[in-house]
Amino acid sequence: MKILFLKHPMENRDPWAQDVLDAIGTRHNVITFDESAPVGPQFRDIDVVIDQGGCHSTREMADYCGSLKLWQILGTGFEKLDVKHWERKGIPVSNTPGQFSSVALAECALMFMIMLARRWHETQRRLRKGIFYNTFGAELLGKRLLLIGFGSSARELALRAKPFGVRILAIDIAPISEEVQVEFGLDEAGKPADLDRMLTDCDFASLHLHLNEETRELIDRRRLALLKPEAFLINVARGALVDEEALSDALAAGRLAGAGLDVFADEPGSPDHPLLAFPNVVATPHISGSTYGTSKRRAECVAENIDRVARGLEPLYLVNRPVSQSVLTYRS
C-alpha cells in the first residue's frame, strides 16, 4: 500500500518516526509529506496517512483524500483532529491508545508524587546553599491517591503506588468490577458523580483522561477548592483538563500543597509560564510518554493496523465511532 507520513519537525521526529519505518519495513511504500509542496497532489492514491502526534492534519487534507482506508494517529490524543469532519468524509481514524504508553505515564506520575512529597525543589535549594539535615518531607505510606479515569495508565500507576502503602481510589465512567478492584488493589471505586466527594479526602489527585468538551477544565476553581491544602495535583494527561489560572491562584494562596505537571493547556509553552515559577511545582515538557519502549510499542501498533487494512480487515482502535468516544471519555 501507499502510505503518506505526516512527521513532526526534525527536532521532535525520532525515535518515533524511525521506529515506525522500521516496524513497517519494506512491506509498504512510505512517502514523507512535504510541507513546501502543494497539498492536494500528495494525497493522490494514498491508502493510509500516518499523522505523528495527531497535530498536523487540516480539513483541507481530509478533503483531498479519495479512497483513504485509514488515518492513523501516532499517539494517544486525538483532540487536535476534527474527528467529525473525518467521519463525514468516511475516513476511519485510529490512534495508538493508552496501553502503549501506560507504563511510561505511570512511572512519571509516581516520580512526581515522590518528588513532591519529599519537597524536591526545597532540597535542591538548600543543597546548593550548603544547608544539610533539616528538609523534612512526607512518606507515601498511608496517603490516599485518587485516580480520575481508570484506563491503562491509571491502572499501571495503581500497581506501582500500592507497594508504597498508598491507598488507591479510582473513578471511571464505566463501572469498575469487583474483580478489577481486587486485581489493582483499589480501596474505593466510584463514578463521575462521586468526584467532588472523593476529591475532598485524597492526598494526591492524578488525571488520566482524554480531553474533550466534557472533560475540558474538569478540575476547575470550584473543584480545586475541594482539595485539602495538603493535597497535590498530578497531570500527565492533557493540560486543558485543569483551569491553569485557578491552579496558579490556589498555589499562590497556599490552598494546595503543590502540583506535578507534564502537560499544559498551550503547548509548546513558554519558559515564563506562571506555573513554573512556583517552588512546589515539579514540571516536565510533555515527556511522560516519551520512552524508547513507548515508541516501539506504538510503532508496532501502527504497523499492525496497516497490515490489517492491507488484508481488508477493520482497523483496530478506531476513535471516530460514537461508541468508541463514549468509552474513551474517562480513559487514557
Widest pairwise Cα distance in the chain = 67
One fold for 2-97+291-328 and 102-283: yes
pLDDT tens digits for range 22-70: 999 999 999 999 988 999 999 999 999 999 876 678 888 988 987 899 9
133: alpha, beta or left? (left if phi > 0; alpha if psi -120 to 50): left
Q: Which of 56, 155, 208, 238 is the catalytic position? A: 238
How far is residue 161's CA from residue 164's CA, in Å, rounded to a whole number?
Answer: 5
Q: Quick check: pTM over 0.85?
A: yes
> How many Å apart are CA 151 and CA 148, to the nearest integer?
9
User: By three-state DSSP, how is residue 45 classified?
Assistant: coil
pLDDT of residue 325: 34
Annotated catalytic residue within 87, 286, 300, 308: 286
For this structure, is 238 an active site residue?
yes
Q: In what order do the strands lie in the sheet with 281-283?
A: 186-190, 167-171, 144-148, 204-207, 232-235, 258-261, 281-283
Q: Pairing state of beta strands 204-207 and 281-283?
A: unpaired
Q: Which residues of the chain carry a pLDDT beneath 50?
A: 322-332
Q: What pLDDT score was predicted for residue 290?
A: 94
Residue 306 and residue 24 in contact, taking contact as beta carbons nearer than 8 Å = yes
Q: What is the pLDDT of residue 327?
A: 32
Q: Which CATH number fits domain 2-97+291-328: 3.30.70.590, 3.40.50.720, 3.40.30.10, 2.40.50.140?
A: 3.40.50.720
Helices (DSSP H) in 131-277: which residue ranges?
152-161, 178-183, 195-199, 221-226, 244-252
Q: Which CATH class is domain 102-283?
A: alpha beta
Q: Which of 60, 178, 267, 304 is catalytic?
A: 267
> What residue segments make up the domains of the chain, in order of their start?
2-97+291-328, 102-283
Q: What is the model's pLDDT at position 12? A: 67
Helix (H, G, I), strand (E, B) or coil at 167: strand
316 with 94: CB under 8 angstroms? Answer: yes
| Dist. CA 123–CA 23, nearest whole Å | 44
Q: Is 286 a catalytic residue?
A: yes
